[in-house]
Amino acid sequence: MTSAVEQLAMRPLGERPGRGYWVLVAAMAALVVLGLVAWIIQLREGLGVTGLSSSVPWGVYIVNFIFFVGISYAGTLLSAVLRLVHAGWRRPITRIAEVVTVSSLVIAAVMIPADLGRPVIAPWQMLISGRGESPLVWDMVVLTTYLVAAFIFLVIPMIPDMARCRDTHPTGTGPRYRLYSWMAASWNGHARQWQRLERAMGILAITIIPVAILAHSAVAWIFGVTPRPVWNSTIFAPYFVVGAVFSGTAVIVVIMAAYRRVFHLHVFFTERHFVRLGYILLTLNLVYMYFTFSEYWTIGYTVQADYQAPLASILSGAHAWAFWFAIILGMLVPAALVALPWTRTVGGITTASVLVVTGMWLKRWIIVVPPLETGMTPGSLASYAPTWVEGAITLAGGAALVLIFLGFQRLFPVISIWEVEYGDEEDHVPAANVRNGEVPA
């Protein structure tokens, strides 16, 4: 017997997608191909094709890296934290969140070779001569761990759903069937398997939180441990972590809104989900604003010579537009949209989230670029503007994320079916009964 949840969640798997879907796939694929072409040009010509210079040696690739590691927090927060606090409403969202985590981490990882002068020898060099003293080695170790953990955290709860895909497969042959069978890992819905799954998820949820926090702290310390004014900040690690969860939550809202609209998943992504995520977004927004204020207020209040130029560049100079966009449109306006009852709607919260995602990309620009442009000596003053190569690789990163989601929903249920069903029953019958073989399988 198939439940209503199953029917709805598995519908996109059997459906032939419409024209709009293929147009979107083609557009995103074109952007990814353009990015690859740009990268090939960069590999052939060298990083001279970027807008970077010896004065501003880091640019949008590093901005993208922080941004994508940041949105990877979506999965960690929603899935792990909400799982641990037994927030039942999380259930329809967990899978999307976990896919965001894995895919954005992969895209973040691609930004590293895109930025390196010698990407070909880098992996080997890092393996044979990596030095524990270097923040980049901390990053490599922690992010690799995070990626592996996030991947496990995605595929383990997919097992029961994969078994269902396997069992309901119309023909029982073909590559798709074999994939489902393989991912279902001989799942038969026995009570002992359910117990083990629950235990595994509990352990993973607890483990992945510190790993994720360390991951973004390590990203923050790339900047924090340098003697560069503005970067050398003690609050960078928590500041980055909060910013990461903030932008990750916003990305989830955007994806939910898109799925809801395109695949008519209103049943799962109800207004209640948007409002709850909206409250989380508002809370994180306020904490992030507090960090931002604290950071620039303490820097700006003193008159330390080497802080003056970067601060002026951020607050009133060349990059003021990005900073004030991030502050006004990326923080204040989204806060108002969620706080005011008459804009606390699906549309309002989605708009707020789009603004937050944009603002947070710009905020990372503000962190990376101005303190480099103003230099640490008078000999190193230069302005930086990315070239089309950097632009193409950046867009390809975003397009790749969309493409992954377009592909994922064709192949796998975007809703964690068993978790949603389990949640429905949990509301009516004691959990013990659910575990006692009565679980939907």
Partner 1 sequence: MTDPATPPQPASAPVSQTSVGSTELARFLGVDYSERDLQPDHGTFDADGLHPATVLNRRAFFRGLAVALAAAGVAKLGGSAVAQAMTDAEAAVADGTAEQLATAERWVMVIDLAKCNGCKQCMTACKTGHSLPEDDQHWIDVWEEQGPYGTFFRPRPCMQCDNSPCTTVCPVGATYTNDAGIILVDNNKCIGCRMCMVACPYDARYFWWNEPETPAHLTEDDYSPELTMPARRGTVGKCVFCADYLQQSRLPRCVQQCPQNAMWFGEKTTDVVTNGDDVRRLTELLETGGATRYKEEKGTEPKVFYLPHGREV
Per CB under 8 A, residues contacting partner 1 are 45-48, 50, 52-55, 57-58, 115-119, 121-122, 125-126, 129-131, 133-137, 140, 222, 225-228, 231, 372, 375-380
Cα 279 from chain centroid (whole Å): 19
Q: How far is the CB of 227 from partner 1 (least distance, A)?
A: 5
Nearer to partner 1 by Cβ, of 119 and 423: the residue is: 119
Q: How far is the CB of 387 from partner 1 (least distance, A)?
A: 12
Treating both helix axes as pointing N-terminal to C-terminal, what angle do 305-315 and 271-301 enclose, rounded to 10 degrees? 140
Nearer to partner 1 by Cβ, of 49 and 235: the residue is: 49
Nearer to partner 1 by Cβ, of 161 and 390: the residue is: 390
Distance CA 311, CA 319 (A): 10
Burial letters 112-147, b for 16+ CB under 10 A, else e: bebbeeeeeeeeeeeeeeeeeeebeebbbbbbebbb
Distance CA 51, CA 38 (A): 13
Nearer to partner 1 by Cβ, of 270 and 383: the residue is: 383
What does the block give as tokens for 85?
């606090």
Nearest to 52 by CA among 373, 274, 310, 346: 373
Nearer to partner 1 by Cβ, of 109 and 376: the residue is: 376
* Amino acid letter, residue 309: A
Q: How far is the CB of 30 from partner 1 (least distance, A)?
A: 28
Do residues 417 and 5 touch, judged by C-beta distance below 8 A? yes
Q: How far is the CB of 366 from partner 1 (least distance, A)?
A: 16
If you write DSSP's letter for every residue of 207-225 in order, what string do you get? HHHHHHHHHHHHHHHHHHT
Q: How far is the CB of 305 from partner 1 (least distance, A)?
A: 11
Nearer to partner 1 by Cβ, of 12 and 310: the residue is: 310
Nearer to partner 1 by Cβ, of 122 and 318: the residue is: 122
Q: How far is the CB of 384 from partner 1 (least distance, A)?
A: 13
Do residues 59 and 232 touch, judged by C-beta distance below 8 A? no
Nearer to partner 1 by Cβ, of 151 and 307: the residue is: 307
Q: How far is the CB of 101 from partner 1 (least distance, A)?
A: 25
Do residues 286 and 396 touch, judged by C-beta distance below 8 A? no
Q: How far is the CB of 40 from partner 1 (least distance, A)?
A: 15
Nearer to partner 1 by Cβ, of 135 and 189: the residue is: 135
Distance CA 316, CA 245 (A): 28
Q: How far is the CB of 222 from partner 1 (least distance, A)?
A: 7
- With the CA atoms of 420, 422, 427 and 433 taken in that order, what torsion angle do they form, in degrees rounded to the nearest 10? 180
SS3 state at 21? helix
Identify each DSSP E strand in 88-229 by its residue range. Answer: none
Cα separations in angstroms, 334 against 278, 290, 310, 353, 354: 9, 15, 27, 7, 9
